[in-house]
């Protein structure tokens, strides 16, 4: 639980820091739709930082149910991968629009969705052995 809580806190902190940097320092570097892309990246980053926090909060209860714990760990991992691939790459594309690896951004979105699906499985596995 503690490592996941630390990851969630670092993610939330970095989401606020990056959002502030985007609003105050990086906006002059962004072209056309860059500000919108940056805002989207920051919103998803912050929301999924809270999702990680929720995963950390569920960890003690999930430990009573091994299958729930398994799916909860996968969910948290998917959220972390989504933050890096979706939000991280979208931040980068917002500032440097010619970025060659932009095609990986949808993969990050798939990880976000997979994380939520795994949370559904966590809920279904609670109270079952």
pTM as predicted: 0.92
Q: Do 117 and 45 meet the contact criterion of CB atoms below 8 Å apart?
A: no
C-alpha–C-alpha distance, residues 97 and 102, integer Å: 9
Closest CA to 87 of 68, 105, 72: 105
**30, 94 contact by CB (below 8 A):** yes
Mean pLDDT of the chain: 92
Q: What is the CA radius of gyration of the chain?
A: 16
pLDDT at 127 over 80: no
User: Which pLDDT value is given to residue 128?
Assistant: 65
For 106-118, what is the mean pLDDT?
97
More confident residue, 27 or 112: 112
Residue 129 has pLDDT above 60, yes or no: no
pLDDT score recorded for residue 15: 97
Annotated domain spans of the chain: 2-125
Q: Which two tokens stand for residue 86?
A: 């979706």
Taking the C-alpha atoms of residue 55 and residue 48, their distance in angstroms, rounded to an integer, is 10
Residues in the chain: 129
Percent of the chain surpassing pLDDT 70: 98
> What pLDDT does 34 receive?
86
Burial of 50 (0-12, 13-18, 19+ CB in 10 A): middle
Give the pLDDT mean for 10-32: 88
Token digits of residue 98: 């010619």
What is the rounded average pLDDT of the residues 39-44?
96
39: number of Cβ within 10 Å: 15
Cα 86 to chain center, whole Å?
Answer: 8
pLDDT in tens, 44-90: 999 999 999 999 999 999 888 888 999 999 999 999 999 999 999 99
């Amino acid at each position: 639980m503690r490592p996941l809580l630390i990851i969630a806190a670092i993610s939330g902190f970095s989401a606020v820091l990056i959002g502030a940097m985007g609003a105050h320092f990086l906006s002059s570097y962004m072209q056309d739709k860059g500000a919108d892309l940056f805002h989207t990246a920051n919103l998803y980053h912050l929301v999924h930082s809270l999702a990680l926090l929720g995963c950390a909060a569920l960890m003690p209860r999930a430990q009573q149910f091994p299958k729930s714990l398994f799916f909860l760990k996968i969910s948290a991992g998917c959220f972390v991968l989504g933050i890096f691939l979706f939000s991280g790459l979208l931040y980068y594309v917002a500032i440097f629009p010619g970025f060659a690896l932009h095609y990986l951004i949808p993969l990050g979105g798939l990880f976000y969705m997979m994380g939520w699906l795994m949370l559904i499985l966590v809920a279904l596995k609670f109270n079952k052995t």
